[in-house]
Every structure is written in C-alpha cells, then in structure tokens.
Amino acid sequence: MIIPRESRLTDTQLAEVEAIVAEFGCRIQVIVGAERCIYAILGDERHETMMNRLLGLDYVDRVDAIDSPYKLMDINSSLAESRLSLAGVELGKEPLFIAGPCTIDPKNPNLFLDSAAAVKEAGGHILRGGVWKPRTMPYSYQGDSKALGILVEAREKTGLAINTEVMDGDHLKQVLEANVDVIQIGTRNAVNYSLLRQIGEATAGTKTAILLKRGRPMAPVGEFLAAAEYIVSAGNPNVMLCPRGTLPAMDGYRNHPDESITQHLKEKSWAPVVVDPSHSVGRAAFVPGAALAAMAYGADGLVIETHLDPKSGIGDDPKQSITPDVLKQLILDARDIWRIRRKYRHGHLATAS
C-alpha cells in the first residue's frame, strides 16, 4: 500500500508506480479517501526489490506491506486513518441510526412517507426501505422499482439520507441514477463476489456508502472481512459491516444473534460496525434488548426496522418492526450505552495507554 507525500499522485507519478509494480505481476488500485488517496498494491506485495524501488521515489511517503488475507480491511491498513461521514455523522465520533420499514409498499406510498417523517422525528439519520426484496419463496412479494421513486420522495420531504438493497446490476444502475446514499448488500448476496466487485467499481471515488450484511452461513470473522475486501479493493472504502444474525437459528430467534461479533470485527478491522438487531432476533419484542447489547459490544450504529403501523406493513414489518415511539426511546438509550462503552478499550480504561 503506497502512501504518497501529497494528498494524491499526479498522473505521471501514478503511471511510473504502475509500471514498477507491473514488473512484479502486481497492479495498483486507487482508493479515494476523505483526505487523501492511497494506492493499494494488488498481488503479492512482498517483493523486496519492488518495495525498495517504490520507497526510492521522492513523492512516496511510505509503503506498507500488510501480511493479511484482507490487507485493505485489516486494522493495520492505512485506510484506518480515514473516517466515514454520513448524514452529518462521523462514524466513531457518535452513533449512527438507520431506521425505516423493511419493505416499501408501492400501493401505499403515504404509509411509507409518514413512517419516514416519524423516523426523522425519532432521531434517525438515514431512512431505510426495501425496494426489491430477496424472498425465500418465489411467490412472495418481490419488490417493485416504483418504490424507488417513493424512497427518493421521502428523502426530498424529510431531508434524511436513504438506504436500500440491491441484488443485481439492474438494481445497481437504478440506485446510482437515483443517487441513493447507502447501498445495502443483503445477507444472501454477501458472498456474491462478482456483485461485490461490481458495486465497488461502480461506486469507486464517490461518497456512496455500502452497508454489507453478514452472510447467514458465515462463521469465521475473516470470511466477512474478505467479502468487504472485494468492495474496497474495487475502489470504494466507504464500507460498513453489518452483523444481522447467522444460521443455524437459536431456538426462539429468527437467526443466531451475532451482535457479539462486533468486538472481534473491531479488533481486526478499522471498518465501522453497524448492527442490525431486527433480522438477528426477528421479533419486535426482542429488538430493543439486542440493539442495546450491540451498543455494549461496541457497535458504531444500528439499523432498525421501524414502521408507523407494523401490522399494515408487508415483508418483515408485521413481525419485527418497532414503532417510532419505541425507536425514539431506543435511540436515546443506545446513545447512553454507546457513551458508557467508550470508557473501555480492549479490557482497559480508554484513558489509560
């Protein structure tokens, strides 16, 4: 990973660097951070001669070789220096709250627009809403592109940033045209490596953030980080990791609640962790407990399915959406837990070195 002396390399400098690494079978991926660009060396970057030649360039500040299978996502990557800011929230400095219905019902736009207004009033930063839905049964409601227009209208009316899931290249094209702020990759596509790469490439160099859900069958932490590495190595470092429960489900829950993986993710990677307790536990009654636990585990934010009138909703809303009054209280309490959690770091008091 090449860190330039200035905020970015000139075209001539980049061409020189590319020519050097190409001699060793590597290539450069430019990653545009908030303050500066870094230049990831993709391939085996441990060639001593290559490293020495790069270090000899007077416009290069540092060359870091990270011995990790997910070298860009690794905590020691230079990307750890960059900070993601979304909807006026700098992640890590204050908690981020994404909330809204599971599914936008195109037959009832006002219900979504009213839910959106209530999410804003409750203190949410980003409005979620499913336009296209990955459903287990092919006969269940699959979504409708018309709902994207309703989501965009809700952004115009509330001023909230918007989040929705894409499942293929056609959805991706539509959300890019609509300038959706956060693109969600759902649990079923968390290992769809060509989609991950395609989304990373299509959003490289933009401010678009990616909310990557943890795959349901994913066990090792490294597998989740490797999935995120696909997006980042394609050029977009604005990734949020979203634990949302795994399989096999724990008796009484929709999935196996995995809020506790947050601690491992934070130890291994710099990426913000934004937990989804709704799909993890799968019942509105259990969402507040799981949400507060996630904050205690060190999450940087939450994604919570919230609906003005869950029983009139579609998709997951009737069973697992909380109502805006509950969201409002939960955001206040989650902020408290977030503050308390920050007193501790890796088993020590955060003020101690």
User: Which chain residues interact with ligand PEP by CB under 6 A?
Assistant: 102, 130, 134, 165, 186-187, 213, 244, 276, 279, 316
Contacts of residue 305, Cβ cutoff 8 Å, sequence gap at least 6: 99, 100, 101, 102, 128, 278, 279, 287, 316, 317, 320, 321, 322
Which of residues 63 and 102 has its CB atom nearest to ligand PEP in the complex?
Answer: 102
**Which residue's CB is nearer to Mn ion, number 102 or number 147?**
102
Residue 123, binding choice from Mn ion, ligand PEP, none, Cβ under 5 to 8 Å by partner class: none
- Closest separation in Å from C-beta 309 to Mn ion: 16
Minimum distance between the CB of residue 70 and ligand PEP, rounded to whole angstroms? 21
- Please report, for residues 13, 79, 160, 182, the alpha-carbon distance to residue 35 in angstroms, rounded to integers and kept in the order given: 19, 11, 25, 20
- Rounded-to-integer distance, Cα 333 and Cα 335, Å: 5
Q: CB nearer to ligand PEP: give 186 or 310.
A: 186
187 binds, among Mn ion, ligand PEP, none (CB under 5 to 8 A by kind): ligand PEP
- CB of 102 closer than 8 Å to CB of 134: no
Asked if 141 contacts 103 with a C-beta cutoff of 8 angstroms, the reply is yes
The interface partner of residue 301, options being ligand PEP, Mn ion, none and the CB cut-off 5 to 8 Å by kind, is: none
268 binds, among Mn ion, ligand PEP, none (CB under 5 to 8 A by kind): none
Q: Min. distance of Cβ 13 from ligand PEP in angstroms? A: 41
Nearest CA to 103 among 20, 184, 219, 197? 184
- What is the number of the residue whose Cβ is closest to Mn ion? 102
CB of 133 to Mn ion, least distance (A): 8
- Nearer to ligand PEP (CB atom), residue 105 or residue 165: 165
CB of 128 to ligand PEP, least distance (A): 7
Shortest distance in whole angstroms from residue 244 CB to ligand PEP: 4
Decide the pairing of beta strands 209-213 and 182-185: parallel
State the binding partner of 143 from ligand PEP, Mn ion, none, CB within 5 to 8 A by kind.
Answer: none
Q: Which does 313 bind (CB under 5 to 8 A by kind): Mn ion, ligand PEP, none?
A: none
Q: How far is CA 332 from CA 89, 96, 283, 320, 329, in A?
A: 16, 12, 21, 20, 5
Q: Which is nearer to Mn ion, 51 or 148 (CB)?
A: 148
Q: What is the CA radius of gyration of the chain?
A: 21
Residue 211's DSSP bridge partners are 184, 240
The DSSP bridge pattern shows strands 2-4 and 60-63 to be antiparallel
In the complex with ligand PEP, the residue whose CB is nearer, 4 or 215, is 215
Nearest CB to Mn ion, comparing residues 45 and 316: 316
| Count of all residues that appear for the chain in the document | 353
222 interacts with, out of ligand PEP, Mn ion, none, CB within 5 to 8 A per kind: none
Q: Which residues bind Mn ion (CB under 5 A)?
A: 102, 316
Residue with tokens 């860009």: 72
